[in-house]
């Protein structure tokens, strides 16, 4: 699905990420950790084509990102569901329409009328807030809405950047279960988080690998967790 080969990235100063080689195979489940400011969000942005590597090769769905035009990137976004760390919405549309937005913009509006979206909203516990506007949501509700929006298209890849930073333990377990469910259906999942207990709790339920960014490189964190 997503393949990085000796990828490096720099925002202009020194290199933030160097020599990253990584392969997110179809159906794999990865956690991404590392100290604040290590480059987790940056790596995720590379994975959905929001940034292009300053050197090395990055292949998304077997296409080199450097060769993609803007419309192809838009197409890829439809196959990659992203939960952003600072989740943003269309503040003038109710939560439910925001969650259905990816369907609308990719010409699958009719699916928005089926019951899937209600099931999903129920799962993330937003049924009561369906008609609220995003600025009226609590921090945790926003994150859950962002997760629902990321998976509504049942994308091939789900990238979630700190999806549980603002929710309590029970809810974060519930959200993780949703991701595990999707992973069992064959979706590739990458979750950036600093919550080690969440990683531990998940590892018992799914074959998850833990990646760690340290000193600009990526390492596989193993038994030490």
Ligand X SMILES: Nc1ncnc2c1ncn2[C@@H]1O[C@H](COP(=O)(O)OP(=O)(O)OP(=O)(O)O)[C@@H](O)[C@H]1O
Q: Of 1 and 178, which has the nearer Cβ to a second copy?
A: 178
- Classified as helix, coil or strand, 9 is strand
Distance CA 163, CA 110 (A): 28
Give the Cβ contact number of residue 106 at 10 Å. 15
Q: Encoding tokens for residue 35?
A: 């100290």
Q: Of 8 and 171, which has the nearer Cβ to a second copy?
A: 171
Task: Confirm or reject binding of residue 52 to ligand X (CB under 6 A).
Answer: no
Instruction: Select the residue interacting with ligand X from 52, 54, 154, 166 (CB under 6 A).
Output: 166
Q: Of 82 and 147, which has the nearer Cβ to other proteins?
A: 82
Pick the piece of the chain touching ligand X (CB under 6 A) from 19-27, 38-46, 63-71, 112-120: 38-46
Pick the piece of the chain touching ligand X (CB under 6 A) from 53-61, 139-147, 150-158, 174-182: 139-147
- If you compute the radius of gyration of the chain from its CA atoms, what whole number of angstroms results? 17
**HEC assignment per residue over 48-71:** CCCCCCCEEEEEECCEEHHHCCHH
Pick the piece of the chain touching Mg ion (CB under 5 A) from 53-61, 130-138, 198-206, 209-217: 130-138
Q: Of 105 and 225, which has the nearer Cβ to other proteins?
A: 105
Phi-psi region of 26 (alpha: psi -120 to 50; beta: other; left: phi over 0): beta
Helix 95-105 and helix 139-151: axis angle, to 10°?
30
Residue 16 interacting partner from other proteins, ligand X, a second copy, none (CB closer than 5 to 8 Å by kind):
ligand X
Q: How far is the CB of 91 from ligand X (least distance, A)?
A: 12
Task: Confirm or reject binding of residue 176 to a second copy (CB under 8 A).
Answer: no
Among 123, 134, 144, 136, CA closest to 95: 134
List interacting residues with a second copy (CB under 8 A).
11, 33-37, 40-41, 85-86, 125, 129, 136, 138-142, 144, 161-162, 165-171, 194, 196-197
């Amino acid at each position: 699905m997503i393949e990085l080969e000796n990828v490096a990235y720099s925002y202009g100063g020194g290199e933030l990420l160097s020599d990253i080689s990584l392969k997110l195979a179809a159906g794999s489940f990865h956690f991404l950790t590392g100290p604040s400011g290590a480059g987790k969000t940056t790596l995720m942005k590379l994975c959905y084509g929001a940034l292009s590597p300053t050197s090395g090769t990055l292949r998304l769905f077997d296409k080199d990102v450097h060769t993609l035009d803007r419309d192809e990137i838009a197409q890829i976004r439809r196959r990659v569901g992203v939960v952003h760390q600072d989740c943003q919405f269309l503040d003038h549309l109710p939560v439910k329409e925001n969650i259905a937005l990816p369907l609308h913009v990719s010409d699958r509006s009719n699916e928005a009328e089926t019951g899937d979206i209600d099931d999903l909203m129920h799962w993330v516990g937003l049924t009561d807030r369906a008609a609220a506007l995003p600025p009226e949501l609590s921090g945790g509700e926003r994150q859950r809405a962002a997760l629902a929006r990321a998976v509504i298209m049942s994308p091939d890849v789900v990238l979630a950047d700190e999806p549980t930073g603002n929710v309590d333990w029970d809810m974060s377990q519930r959200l993780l279960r949703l991701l595990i469910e999707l992973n069992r259906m064959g979706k590739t999942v990458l979750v950036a988080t600093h919550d080690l207990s969440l990683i531990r709790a998940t590892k018992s339920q799914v074959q998850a690998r833990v990646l760690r960014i340290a000193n600009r490189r990526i390492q596989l964190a193993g038994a030490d967790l």
